[in-house]
């Protein structure tokens, strides 16, 4: 039964996307007239500067950073295309668009930085793309350690602004330069400093969402509230299927007064994992902990002799100086007997952690690359690492399968896998790509892990979501979706609902 559900979803999503939705860019020039009414109506509502039905704009919003879609782009193929793009400048603008779309039953897809990697912001059924990047006001409440920020604000601008005023959010994903606050919340993102500061769900104190038929939900920022189910969590990670996040209140921290950098080399990944487990279970919260497997140690630290053929672990410990000193001592104690690599590897990682160039370098040569992040409790962590690597390698065409562990909890760990390969003869890029994903997802589910730690579901992972949530769990998600969005206009098809 489970297999059948999986096949159905697979067919629904991929077959549909590949054979029906793919539109040759050259062929859609002829379709433009059909959208005139929609354009005129939205121009009346928002003004001409906030609306476009130009083909070139529509193409630009045909996908997010889903890696396989990059290969389609190079072939001049778009996986979907919106009818129109709008750039609201206020919550009121968003309300107008949602009201209009609800009345006319037009699909809406919210768009932030477009850095999602699973096709979540892909206007599969056309309609309206709402790009929120013109909504970027920021206000700090220093006494309450809160920041109020509109959802289109780029992460790096928010963090720089907070730093300038003596604060930090502590949310530093690799996409910091290109992702937006709304994108973080709607995908339930996490940053590199999560072991101390948590994921975005730990930071959202209040939220404003526009839901069909065009109403505004405001959940105010309280230190804690016991007022029934926490509705904030209905929207965090909802990937645009319920409503459009327009504004959030985030918990912030005073800028750390001290930082300590430590790094070590061990012989195996299990040894490093075990030592980090003792650290996080003792209550210590280093901001950054990263364990690189042997391949990724070579990638990052090829220039360090002592790290050759080893597993490197790096730490950034930050905050109040007295606490930092005590935490550093506990980390040193836990890594006693391993090779101490000093501060340099950490500084090197800090300097280059935002360099994203593999796709630009290798995709044009026909290599297929992607990353898959999953999480699992400690008991099965090592097994999951080895089995997912093995499963990805066993797919014909795979040249590279590696991982690092980058987010740690007293209960378990997130593994961030990378694979790269060339589709074997007779197989399309997408065919190869889907096979690797299937291998990783099946292995994770088999071992009791969760299929996504922080990238979300989008369209790529949708086939496995019913298996993750179980029949009733998935049914509840579907029913909630349909209760909030009775006309099914909000990012239809995303998460498979």
Region from 49-57, 140-148, 257-265, 446-454 binding other proteins, contact rule CB under 8 A: 49-57
Neighbours of 221 (CB within 10 A): 19
Any alpha helices (H) in 405-488, and if so which ranges?
429-446, 465-484
Is 185 in contact with 155 (CB distance < 8 Å)?
Answer: no
**Contact between 157 and other proteins per CB under 8 A:** yes
Q: Which of 302, 329, 333, 394 binds other proteins (CB under 8 A)?
A: 302
CB of 359 to other proteins, least distance (A): 5
String of contacts with other proteins for each residue 56-95, x by CB under 8 A:
xx-xxx---x----x--xx-x--------x-x--------
**Contact between 367 and other proteins per CB under 8 A:** yes
**Contact between 353 and other proteins per CB under 8 A:** no
DSSP assignment of 6-45: HHHHHIIIIIIIIIII-EEGGGGGGGGGGGHHHHHHHHHH
Q: How far apart are the first and last CA of the chain?
A: 19
Enclosing H/E stretch for 277: helix 269-281
Nearer to other proteins, 73 or 409 (CB): 73
CA dist 26 and 21 (Å) reads 14
CA dist 196 and 409 (Å) reads 10
**Contact between 115 and other proteins per CB under 8 A:** yes
**Contact between 171 and other proteins per CB under 8 A:** no
Task: Show contacts with other proteins in window 392-411 (CB under 8 A).
Answer: 397, 399-400, 402
**Contact between 308 and other proteins per CB under 8 A:** no
**Contact between 31 and other proteins per CB under 8 A:** no
CA dist 309 and 267 (Å) reads 8
**Contact between 55 and other proteins per CB under 8 A:** yes
Buried b (16+ CB within 10 A) or exposed e, 341-380: beeebbebbbeeeeeeeebeeebeeebbbbbbbbbbebee
Region from 4-12, 259-267, 299-307, 481-489 binding other proteins, contact rule CB under 8 A: 299-307
Using alpha carbons, select from 311, 256, 333 the residue that is nearest to residue 287: 256
**Contact between 420 and other proteins per CB under 8 A:** yes
Judged by the rule CB under 8 A, the positions of this chain that interact with other proteins are 25-26, 29, 49, 54-57, 59-61, 65, 70, 73-74, 76, 85, 87, 111, 113-115, 131, 133-134, 136, 152, 154-157, 160-161, 164, 175, 177-178, 295-296, 298-299, 302-303, 354-357, 359-367, 397, 399-400, 402, 420-422, 424
């Amino acid at each position: 039964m489970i297999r059948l559900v999986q096949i159905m979803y697979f067919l629904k999503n991929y077959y549909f996307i590949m054979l029906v939705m793919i539109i040759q860019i050259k062929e859609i020039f002829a379709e433009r007239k059909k959208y005139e009414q929609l354009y005129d109506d939205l121009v009346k509502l928002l003004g001409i500067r906030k609306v476009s039905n130009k083909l070139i704009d529509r193409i630009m919003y045909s996908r997010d950073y889903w890696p396989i879609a990059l290969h389609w782009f190079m072939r001049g193929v778009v996986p979907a295309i919106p009818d129109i793009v709008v750039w609201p400048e206020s919550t009121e603008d968003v309300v107008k668009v949602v009201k209009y779309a609800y009345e006319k039953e037009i699909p809406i897809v919210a768009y932030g930085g477009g850095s999602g990697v699973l096709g979540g912001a892909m206007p599969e059924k056309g309609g309206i793309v709402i790009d929120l990047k013109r909504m970027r006001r920021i206000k700090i409440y220093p006494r309450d350690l809160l920041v109020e920020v509109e959802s289109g604000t780029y992460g790096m601008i928010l963090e720089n602004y907070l730093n300038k005023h003596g604060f930090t959010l502590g949310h530093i994903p690799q996409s910091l330069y290109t992702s937006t606050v709304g994108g973080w919340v709607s995908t339930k993102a996490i940053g590199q400093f999560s072991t101390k500061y948590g994921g975005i769900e730990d930071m959202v104190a209040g939220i404003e969402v526009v839901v069909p038929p065009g109403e505004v939900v405001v959940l105010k920022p309280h230190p804690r509230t016991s007022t029934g189910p926490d509705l904030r969590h209905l929207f965090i990670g909802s990937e645009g299927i319920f409503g459009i996040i327009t504004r959030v209140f985030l918990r912030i921290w005073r800028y750390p007064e001290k930082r300590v950098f430590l790094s070590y080399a061990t012989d195996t990944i299990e040894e490093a994992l075990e030592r980090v487990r003792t650290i996080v279970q003792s209550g210590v919260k280093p901001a950054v902990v990263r364990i690189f497997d042997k391949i990724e140690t070579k990638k990052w630290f090829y220039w360090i002799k002592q790290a050759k053929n080893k597993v490197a672990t790096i730490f950034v410990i930050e905050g109040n100086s007295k606490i930092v000193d005590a935490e550093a001592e506990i980390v040193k104690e836990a890594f006693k007997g391993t090779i101490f690599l000093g501060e340099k590897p950490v500084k090197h990682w800090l300097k280059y952690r935002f360099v994203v160039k593999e796709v630009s370098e290798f995709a044009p040569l026909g290599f297929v690359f992607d990353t898959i992040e999953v999480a699992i409790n400690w008991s099965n962590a090592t097994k999951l690492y080895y089995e997912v690597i093995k499963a990805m390698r066993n797919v014909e065409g795979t040249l590279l399968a590696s991982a690092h562990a980058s987010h740690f909890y007293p209960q378990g760990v997130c593994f961030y896998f990378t694979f790269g390969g060339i589709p074997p003869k007779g197989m399309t890029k997408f065919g190869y790509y889907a096979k690797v994903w299937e291998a990783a997802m099946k292995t994770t589910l088999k071992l009791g892990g969760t299929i996504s730690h922080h990238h979300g579901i989008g369209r790529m992972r949708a086939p496995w979501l019913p298996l993750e949530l179980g029949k009733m769990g998935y049914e509840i998600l579907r029913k909630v979706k349909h209760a909030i969005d009775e006309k099914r206009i909000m990012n239809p098809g995303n998460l498979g609902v």
